[in-house]
Structures are given as C-alpha cells and as structure tokens.
Amino acid sequence: MGRWEPNARGRLAQAAIELYVERGYEQTTVAEIAKRAGLTERTFFRHFADKREVLFSGSGSLRDHLVNAVDAAPDSAAPIDVIAGAVASVGVLFHERHESARQRQAVIAANAELRERELIKLASLSAALADALRRRGVPDPAASLAAEAGIAVFKIAFERWISGTGEPDLSRFVREAFDELKAVTAGR
Amino acid sequence: MGRWEPNARGRLAQAAIELYVERGYEQTTVAEIAKRAGLTERTFFRHFADKREVLFSGSGSLRDHLVNAVDAAPDSAAPIDVIAGAVASVGVLFHERHESARQRQAVIAANAELRERELIKLASLSAALADALRRRGVPDPAASLAAEAGIAVFKIAFERWISGTGEPDLSRFVREAFDELKAVTAGR
DNA sequence: ACCCTGATGACAGCGGCTGACATCAGTGCT
DNA sequence: AGCACTGATGTCAGCCGCTGTCATCAGGGT
C-alpha cells in the first residue's frame, strides 16, 4: 500500500463540493476542505490553482468533446451547422447527471466569483470552437461569430435544462435554441 | 475649500491605471495606488469594491446607454434590429477614446482576473438588453438570444476596432459584424 | 456655541495563496 | 544490502486583498 491514502485530488474535490453545498462557497475555507479530506491547505493548492477551480476542472473534457465533434463534421457542412451539431452532441456528457449538475449550478449561481469563473470557462470553449472552425478553413469573423453564437445557445439551453424537472435531453434544448436563434437573427 | 483634496475617487482611479500600465496589474498593490493618490488603502476600498473595479466602474453608463437606445427604438422594429441599433449607437461613447480604450484593453488582456471581470460586465450588459427587450414584449428565449447575439457582435467589433490603427468608427464595425452574423446563422 | 454628517485615517485581523525547505515511502541501480 | 533519487505531502513564514471597528475632524445647519 502507498504511503498516503489514494486519490488525494478526488477526496479534496468531494470535500470541497460537500462543504460548498452545506454551508456555501464563501463560508468555506480552504483549510476546512483540506481537513475534511485529511490533507493540508498547502496540498489543496498543489492540486487546484485556486479555491474556485475545484468546480471547473472538468471543463477540459467538455472542450475536448466539442473540438472533436467539430473536427469530425463533414467538410460540406456549413459552419453554423457544424457548431450546432457539436454543441448538441455534448448532451451525452450530461446523461444521468441532471441532479449533480443542478446542485453544482446552484452553488455557482449563488456566488459572483464563481459566475466569473464560469464565464471565462465558457469563453475558452468559444475560443476553442473558433479555432477548430479556422482549422477547417472558416475565415474570421465568421468563425468567431459562429462559435460565440454556439456558446450563447448552449448557455440558454443548459439553463432551461437545469431549471426543468426530471431529465429530458439536453440536446433537444440545444436544437430548439438554435432554431430560435436562426429565427431571431433572420429578423423575425 | 474642503477639508480634503477634491475628487478622491478620480485620483485613485488615475493612480491605479497609471500603475497598472507602468508595472502591470498584479505587481501593483492597493497600498501603492492609495499612496500615489495621497490616501490610504482603506479609502481605496471605500470607493471601489475591489482592486479590479477601478477599470470597470464606467460600464454603468454603457449599460444605461444601451437600455435607453432599446427603449427608444420604434415599436415596429424586429428584436434583432433593435439590438443592432442599440449596440451600434454606443460608438459615440468611444469617440476620441481610441487610445485610452486601447491602453485599458491591453491591461485587461494581460491578466486573467481582469478578463473574468470584463466577461461578467459584458454578461450584465446582455442581461440588461434582454430585460429591455422583454419590457417591449419580446418573449424568451428570443429576448435572451438576441441580447447574447448583440453582445457577441459587440465583442468582436470592439476587438477589431481596438486592434485597428487610427480612429475609424466603432459603429461601422458593429454593423459589419451584425451583417456577418446574419450570414453565418443563415447557414452560409 | 452646538450637534451632526460624511469623508478619511488607524489598526487589527481573516483568509487566499506562495515560496522554501523538510520528510519519507517507494523505486531502481549497484 | 546499501544507496541515491523521486515525488507527494507536511510545516512554516509571509504577502496581500479585503473587512470591521472606532477615532478624527471640517463644514453646514440650528
């Protein structure tokens, strides 16, 4: 057996989320998180860049998923449809996750610092999507606009999915929001 | 004459921006800002909620301008055109400000915390625009989508305006970006 | 003269975050 | 076996952003 209990990072993440839910983000100190995980404050900061990052470290896989989906789209597809398809395809990442996603989102919504961090994560998704489009030969500003539009749609679709009850399909909300966007920008 | 030198807030803001430009945001402490303004650290925090806010306190007037422009649009205008007109009209707020805007943007771009704050300010503009549309009777999600699209366009237009030389009209970039967005979402 | 208000100063303290160094189980090499 | 080396963790000191609290004091009204 190892010198230390295994999965220090996972224990820290779980302890953090529990405490954020139990007593709120601001009312939780890093020392408390570390203590619940059986580690020290210093070790927390070795695993997470800051106190917020615990809630966002999973966004890397979302980014990868989106970029892969863009790369896999047929050459003939229009940029907006490539983006729409990629964003709709992230639905699978959230299957069976409705409840934990809702809880996490409630924590984020309750705190301004966390909302800031979420926005920059979304912006980095947008940048990654725009990059992927440019690699396909889509010029700017079309690439940036399509990517920004896609993220705007995702935000709204996700919000509706979270505030809904049960577990309907996130992808459906995404497709609906895209249709609405097309109608709106067409001037209707 | 007053007991204190006048315009404490203005002096703090100017000292802060100077220092942020001279030596970078992170390398500047609030104590240094206060000292240069002839005040104390505590007084800085009476005028600005945090160290970042110095660079963003002007966003309130931008918000007001946008909302007023939406309110003033003719009833017959389509939501997307109301937003396009409102966003394009902010160009006047930036006349003669190209250089200072560029400098400020360089400071923000160089620091992750500042980019986070900028994004949340933009998000609050989007929320204000969506509210204004709803007051006109535009239902959701059309209102939110039109507002998000407007802010996405503004981001891209502003970026192009900043990176350009001389002082062309920001409004022109906004209108061009809106036309591009319409083309993109139409699937071209 | 009197008090009241509002902006500022002085001071103590919390908590996020970092740098530097120590510790020590496992790993592989001789 | 002996040994150096690695890498995750602990320990400690310290900076700085930010806040609560109380004191100070000019100007304005009564």
Asked if A150 and A84 touch (Cβ cutoff 8 Å), the reply is yes
User: What are the extents of the domains in chain B?
Assistant: 8-54, 56-185
Distance, CA of A22 to C1' of C20, in Å: 35
Tokens of A160: 């509706």
Q: pLDDT band at B156, cuts 50/70/90?
A: very high
Q: What is the mean pLDDT of residues A96-106?
A: 94
CA distance A174 to A93: 14
**Taking all residues of chain A, what is their mean pLDDT, rounded to a whole number?**
96
Asked if A73 and A88 touch (Cβ cutoff 8 Å), the reply is no
CA distance B39 to A158: 46
Q: Among B79, B144, B153, whose Cβ lies nearest the Cβ of A156?
A: B144
Q: Which residue has the higher pLDDT, B78 or A1?
A: B78
Report the alpha-carbon angle B89-B90-B94, nearest 5.
130
CATH 1.10.150.120 fits B8-54, yes or no: no
CATH 1.10.3080.10 fits B56-185, yes or no: no
Q: pLDDT band at B5, cuts 50/70/90?
A: confident
Residue in B116, B118, B172 to test binding to A, most A beta-carbons within 10 Å: B116
User: What is the pLDDT at residue B97?
Assistant: 92
Tokens of A179: 């249709």
CA distance A131 to A100: 30
What is the dihedral sign for C-alpha B31, B34, B35, B36?
A: positive
pLDDT digits (tens, 9 = 90+) for A122-156: 999 999 999 999 999 999 999 999 999 999 999 99
- Give A6-31 as a 3 state SS string: CCHHHHHHHHHHHHHHHHCCCCCCHH
User: What is the pLDDT at residue A1?
Assistant: 53
pLDDT digits (tens, 9 = 90+) for A2-24: 688 889 999 999 999 999 999 99
